[in-house]
Structure 1
Amino acid sequence: MADGVMKKALLSYAYVALWIFLSFTVIVYNKYVLDPKMYAWPFPISLTIIHMSFCSALAILLVRILRLVAPPSSPPMTRRLYLSSVLPIGAFYSVSLWFSNSAYIYLSVSFIQMLKALMPVAVYSIGVLFNKETFRTSSMLNMLSISFGVAIAAYGEARFVSTGVALQLAAVAFEATRLVFIQILLTSKGISLNPITSLYYVAPCCLAFLLVPWSLIELPILRDRLAASAFRPDLLIFGTNCLCAFALNLAVFLLVGKTSALTMNVAGVVKDWLLIAFSWSVIRDTVTSINLFGYAIAFLGVGYYNHAKLQALKAKEAQKKAAQADEESGKLLERAAGGNRKNDSQA
């Protein structure tokens, strides 16, 4: 028994470590590709399109051709369900990825992670707006504390670029809306998608949405650069970048499937601190004491948010077990009553 528990704990730590490593790698890799001072390929829509094309192809290979992953069968993914549920989620996801990648051109990795601490605030606020979350004064005070901490971090940012901040905040808002819409449009209908089937349905949709701004904004510039032989894409860099992005989706599947989404949230806090340390020590981004003080306040707020979520999950699990126990007790009483009636009729 003890060996089984130890093995399960070690596997959980391994999944957490793998997710942190791949998430860390994708963020730093995207920063390297997009930053004008590094690889100098400042085309975030193009990079996102490359990711979505690669992920779409691999997802179709795994689901349709090799059939290693089965799409949901109950309820089946009909055309009507796809248009009413998956299409809006894909639209929000495409804009979120576009804006998030664009922010790397203007902001440091460390400051972007600090701004991402606003995700619980956005998810809670949009959840309340769509009646998926219950408004509580304590929760709102917690959200205000996170926002206050991020505001202090932004005030102390040495490389504050309003365009980058606006892009990252918009990315957080669109991503939070996507997560709430997953609850409204998919989970409420009993549809559960793992990262592979999510990519199978959502990635082609994202690709289609991104082609519109790409053709208007980046395609003319890329065409001119390629015609002038001013730039030649490095297939090794873009290929490994896409592999890392796809591997991250697999790591999400392992982490959430074998542990929980809450574990991923907690691991995300550890990842953010590691990225801030890496940004300061390796990339040599400036991290001020005001940055760290503000993010520490936001970190405490996010920690409380995760703790509250954990307590709610425990309470829900306890209610479920109590309901099951009551149901089993009721069945035993019915059997006992049936046995007594049978004995009385025989007498």
Structure 2
Amino acid sequence: MGKGGSISEGIIKKIILSYTYVAIWIFLSFTVIVYNKYILDKKMYNWPYPISLTLIHMGFCSSIAFLLIRVLKLVEPVSMSRGLYLSSVVPIGALYSLSLWFSNSAYIYLSVSFIQMLKALMPVAVYSIGILFKKDQYNSETMGNMIAISIGVGIAAYGEAKFDSWGVILQLGAVAFEATRLVMIQILLTSKGINLNPITSLYYVAPCCMVFLLVPWIIVEYPILKETTSLHFDYVIFGTNSFCAFALNLAVFLLVGKTSALTMNVAGVVKDWLLIGFSWTVIKDTVTPINLFGYGLAFLGVGYYNHAKLKALKAKESQKKAHPNDEESGKLLDEREGEVKKADSEA
């Protein structure tokens, strides 16, 4: 009984911890999205400078990562040659800077709820770009699933009360750049056996993002900031906002590392519905029945896609267990880990 009781206690403890990780991630992700909207929206804090905000985030994250790795030595840096950095990290940093710039810009023009609906296209973008770069194989059933998701998002866009073409272009651009970045991570880093945790990732990528963002910032936003005296830095607002963005990176690693990518996918759906409800009830954004119907259809498509991926992972795991001495078993495990990381990114 004692043994059985200890097992039960262990299971209960694991469940409680899993829900705690999920709650932390949802809270931080929710907070960062709403906080960014608050800062950038002209009807709220009225500081519509997305490049500047992204630069602040990257500067803060770079500083903390440098402190943890080089000064306090709490995290081990990854061994990386100059050539590997230039050929792999720099392209990923460029794509990341564009993704963040475009996604933050979209908050100026679109509601939080509609942005979350458009983000449902991420699996479509990742799968399509994966096929283009030959990281995924074309499958008619999966493509049908992608078309269903796209139709759902299209219906949601049709029903959007405050549709803004430029905002939609920015958000779709952000999705495309982010999807390309995720595929490039698989091609340029993971395939070479390099895995970056959130701290080392920020240490290498964030400074690169800052360099790429400086050029458009000097051309587009710096002259306006200088003329409108908006260069005044609110340390409380931008400090807490940057800290939340940094903490979110850690929460992602904690959630996926301690539970699974599938858990994060499910938590992502819960977060999206919470954001839509918050946008509707608190921010007072208009959410139409057509919006909800379209997103509901896209949500079912994304859910089915995640279910299919889970089945594929289980099949690979079963095959590995059935042939423990097979020389290919190591490869199957590596493929499984790659699929998990990709599923995490698509959440």
Q: TM exceeds 0.5?
A: yes
* Residues 256-275 of structure 1 mapped to structure 2, 5 A cutoff: 256-275=256-275
The match for 2:155 among 152, 156, 171 is 152
Q: Distance in 2 between matches of 1:272 and 1:43?
A: 25
Cα drift, residue 256 of structure 1 = 1.3
Deviations 1:288-318 (A, max 9, x none): 0000000000000000011111111111211
Deviations 1:2-37 (A, max 9, x none): 211221121111111100000000000000000000
Q: Whose Rg is larger?
A: 1
Residue 318 (structure 1) aligns with: 318
| 1:21 equivalent in alignment to 2:24 | no
Cα drift, residue 225 of structure 1 = 1.4
| 1:7 equivalent in alignment to 2:10 | no
Q: Distance in 2 between matches of 1:232 and 1:50?
A: 13
The match for 2:48 among 39, 42, 50 is 42
Counterpart of 1:28 in structure 2: which amino acid?
A: V
- Stretch deviating more after TM superposition (307-316 or 125-134): 307-316
The match for 1:51 among 53, 57, 63 is 57
| 1:218 equivalent in alignment to 2:224 | no
Residue 249 (structure 1) aligns with: 249
| 1:185 equivalent in alignment to 2:213 | no
Q: Distance in 1 between matches of 2:80 and 2:297?
A: 43
* Residues 76-225 of structure 1 mapped to structure 2, 5 A cutoff: 76-225=79-228
Equivalent residue of 1:40, what SS?
A: coil
Residue 64 (structure 1) aligns with: 70
Contact 1:95 1:174 in 2 (8 A): yes
Residue 291 (structure 2) aligns with: 291
Counterpart of 2:317 in structure 1: which amino acid?
A: E
Structure 1 portions without partners, runs of 5+ = 328-347
Contact 1:266 1:306 in 2 (8 A): no
Matched residue pairs, number?
321
Cα drift, residue 239 of structure 1 = 0.6
Equivalent residue of 1:81, what SS?
A: helix
Cα drift, residue 160 of structure 1 = 0.2
Counterpart of 2:84 in structure 1: which amino acid?
A: L
Q: Which runs of 4+ in 1 moved over 6 A?
A: none
Cα drift, residue 265 of structure 1 = 1.8
Q: Distance in 1 between matches of 2:19 and 2:269?
A: 15
Query: What RMSD, in angstroms, separates the aligned Cα atoms of the two structures?
Result: 1.1
Counterpart of 2:122 in structure 1: which amino acid?
A: M
Contact 1:63 1:69 in 2 (8 A): yes
Residue 278 (structure 2) aligns with: 278
Q: Distance in 2 between matches of 1:38 and 1:146?
A: 32
Q: Distance in 2 between matches of 1:64 and 1:318?
A: 42
Deviations 1:211-235 (A, max 9, x none): 0100000000011112xxx673321
Q: Distance in 2 between matches of 1:134 and 1:270?
A: 30
Cα drift, residue 167 of structure 1 = 0.0
Contact 1:89 1:178 in 2 (8 A): yes
Residue 303 (structure 2) aligns with: 303
Q: Distance in 2 between matches of 1:107 and 1:127?
A: 28
Q: Distance in 2 between matches of 1:213 and 1:3?
A: 55
Q: Distance in 2 between matches of 1:320 and 1:196?
A: 32
State TM-score, norm by structure 1.
Answer: 0.91
Q: Distance in 1 between matches of 2:100 and 2:37?
A: 13
